[in-house]
Structures are given as structure tokens and as C-alpha cells.
Structure 1
């Protein structure tokens, strides 16, 4: 039995009658949304066979399953990054396990740096496309055709219907929701001013160290994906300030309520 199958079997035994259809992955500074989940079943990652352990400050490292916005959800309170020393293929495990327990859609959130001064810290950006600047892919290696195709079409990596529904809810709530292209860099160092200038030329609107590998894995196994970036800083050289993870956490927490309200209302809008 493969690692993600062991993970899914363990989770199924824990779930009882719960049947989450929506998975949510929370980024840096955004973990407080999981605290709003009703009747929560909390499972630390270290208890789940095959799951890596989250090591980044600000990521609790637990799966919270319960009700949010009248929907059964499975919420990852903390995620995994390549800069933690995790091999790309290990990133397959959580999403494939969530798929096997019944999740059909995944909403990804992250903290990101803006490449445009008009999209300032505290803004929200709905990801419409991405650039994988790492040269790495969690789908590298032997392919399991029972999960997904060897060569995955990413023309619609981020589901159009999910994006439309999130935009509609944001408009109803009078929340300004930017749309843009997210660029994935490995980290853990922040980018240089020269890199920021290059990424802007490539067509990126925001940059971060996550989300893209999860999108690739989720799409490979047939899940629909949407993703929202919480803008925590301007890119290096744009503000004159030094960048820090503390700033990422602080600004992420400031935007957490706005993003949390949007997510809850979006969940309530689902059939």
C-alpha cells in the first residue's frame, strides 16, 4: 500500500460519518480560520501515516475536519514546502489522501509578495494562472495512471467556475479582489530586487514559496482548484524595507479576517 493510501485509510477510520467535500489549505498567518470550524476533529500531522511534519513557524501542523459555512471541510492548518527539505514527491501525499476521503474541490491560500505597488499589503489576489520558476515538479517519477495522466493539461489549472463564484461573492461583500499570476520560487530566501524586476517582466503579479505543487497534485488526481493570495509585502526593492517572515505573519493575520469572511461566504454559496 502506498503512503497516501495509508494516510487515507487512517483518516477514513477517524472520520466516522463525516464526509468532507471541500479541502482548504491555509498559508502563513492564515491559520486562524480553522478555529472557526464547528464540531472540529483535530488530527496532528505526526499522527497521520505518511504525512510529513510541518516545521515552519506560523503553521500549526494539523488537519481540522468539521463544518464551515454549512459545508463539511477538511482544513490543513499548515502546509509543507520544498525549502523544509521535503522531496517534491512527498507533496503528493496530503492532496491524494484528501481526494481518497472524498474531497472534490480544494481552496488554497497563501501569503505572497506583490509585484505591483497598487496591490499593497492587506490586499487579496485570486490566482488565475501560475509560473513554476523552480524547475521542480511533484509529479516527477513513475506515473500511476489510476490517479491521473502522465502528461497533465494545465490550460485551466485554476477552475473557472470556482473563480467566478469566488469573484461573485467578493463583489457582493464589496471586497476588492485582485486577479493575477502567481510565481512559485523555492525559497527560503526572499528574492533579490533584480529577481523581482525579472519576475515582473515575465508576467508575474505576486510571488510565493508554495501553492503551485499542491495545484499540480490536486489537478492530477481530478480535484478542482482555486487559490487566493493574501498580500503581505511588496517585493524586494519596491518599498525600501527589509523583508522578514515576521512581517509575513503579521500582515497575513491582518488580512486573515477579510479572507476568512470571504471563504465562509463562498462556502455558504455552494450547493
Structure 2
């Protein structure tokens, strides 16, 4: 089935409720799906080209419905490069979202903090990112299909709106550089504040499709050697649950103040 056929199938079920904003949920943030009103749900397994994950925490669903009064497409989990073995694993979901009418995408990614002051349960705006290791692995994986400067990924207006939303709901929102595909020591040397295994490929695809993107990292723990003294792993795991609570509040305000426009 082609992308066009998949889009037609989805439109048959959602009618004129076409979304303007796609939201990609990473590990630990799936609770946002409970805020979607009257959702139309598709399992990734029934949509050709969508990633099939064996990770239990990855629900792998596309939800289309209302969030804070706005039509959105919720991509519930994404396939990480290190599991899929392909940097373009999210190509088809993004192409479908764009064809449905999503001109913007909010990306989220689980991340390990490299800063003692940025602990589990915190959310951080991704203001820049750094490719760790060999950049050729990214360019070769995309070939010539996505000829875009992946350094300049995130829309400043959307970033500013998210910052304003967090201030209005009084949820602290950190910011920093996201490191992709390497180890903690190398990431620190390159100026990264956090480390993860997704996000950069997704931002490349989104921009190549003409989608304006903004990104939030969900800090799930500290990278080795970054945790403050005296912090137990159990406490870190408990704090990590707050990321979804914070994101739900920020998203509601963000959409009420034009985040999907």
C-alpha cells in the first residue's frame, strides 16, 4: 500500500478532522494519550511502512483526535535507529502525517543527562544537537532523499511558544544541546548537555518534508558519572515519572495559545 493509499484509508475514518500538529511520544511520555478526546486509533502494525517494535513500552499506535480543542496526530512511540538499524525508520509515519495536513511536529526523545542540575523528571528544550561518531552514517542512511542541513533543525517561533507555555503553567523547562549516537565522555567533549539514541534522524525527515519542528527531551536518568553524589537509582526512577505530568500541562497551554497554528 502506498503512502497515498494509507492516507486515504485514514481520512475515511477521521473525515474532516485533519490534524495540523503531529506529536511524537518517546519512552515515559505515553500518558499524554489519555488527554486525546474521541481518538481514532490505528496500530502501527496495520499501517504499511510504520515501524514494528518488539519493545513492550513502545505501544506503536497512531491516534488522531482533539487535544486542548485542536486536531492532532499522536505518534505513540517511535523506532530508534539503534533498534531498527535504519536512520529513516520514521520516514513513512512522517510522510503520512504531513500528507494528512501536519505542518508542524513536536518531537520528544528520552535522554540521559550529562549535567548534575538536570535530573530525571525534567524536560528540556532541545536548542541544538551534535552528531557523535561518524556523520557519514547519517548521510549514507538518508542517501540523497533528504538533502537538508540537519544542524538547523528547530523552529525558533515554536521553541519560543513552548518556553512561554512552560512559564504560564509554572513548569520549569530546561534547555540544551542533544548528543546523538555516542558515549557520555565524547558527548561532554562535544558540548552536549544530554545524550540519546533518537531525535536527529526524525528532525532531518521532518524538515525535508517541510514540517516546522520543535523538540523536547525527557530526562529519564543521568549518564554514567553525571549524577550528583548521594542520589540513589530508586529515587531517579521515581522522579522520571514526572516528565509525562509536566508535558501534559505544557502541551495543553501550548495548544490553547496557538501551538498548532
TM-score by length of 1: 0.85
Q: What's 1:76 paired with?
A: 75
Paired residue for 1:161, among 157, 160, 172? 157
Give the secondary-structure state (helix, strand or coil) at the position aligned to 1:89: coil
Q: Cα–Cα, structure 1 residues 249 and 80, in superposed 2: closer, same or farther, change >3 Å?
A: farther
Which of 179, 197, 213 is the aligned partner of 2:201?
213
The residue aligned with 1:199 is: 187
Cα distance in structure 2, aligned partners of 1:90 and 1:255: 25
TM score, norm. by length of structure 2: 0.88
Q: 1:104 to 1:51 in 2, by over 3 A?
A: same
What pairs with 1:234-249 in structure 2 (closer than 5 Å)?
A: 234-239=222-227
User: What is the CA-CA distance between 1:119 and the residue it aligns to?
Assistant: 1.0
- Distance change (3 Å), C-alpha of 1:166 and 1:230: same
Match of 2:175 in 1: 179
Are residues 226 and 9 of structure 1, via their aligned partners in 2, closer, same or farther at CA, if it must alter by over 3 Å?
Answer: same
Separation in 2 of the partners of 1:213 and 1:89? 7
CA contact (8 A) 1:126 1:180 kept: yes
Match of 1:188 in 2: none
Q: In terms of mean alpha carbon deviation, does 87-96 or 118-127 score higher?
A: 87-96
- CA displacement, residues 36-90 of structure 1 (integer Å, 9 cap, x when unaligned): 1001111100111221212223111101110001110000111111222342333
C-alpha deviations, 1:6-64, integer Å up to 9, x for none? 43333233322211000000010100101110011111001112212122231111011
3-state SS of paired residue (1:113): strand
1:165-191 deviations in whole A, cap 9, x for unaligned? 111111122221111111112xxxxx7
| Aligned-partner Cα distance in 2 for 1:248–1:93 | 35
The residue aligned with 1:147 is none
Give 1:105 shift. 0.5
Cα RMSD for the two superposed structures:
2.6
Aligned residues: 255
Partner of 1:263: 251
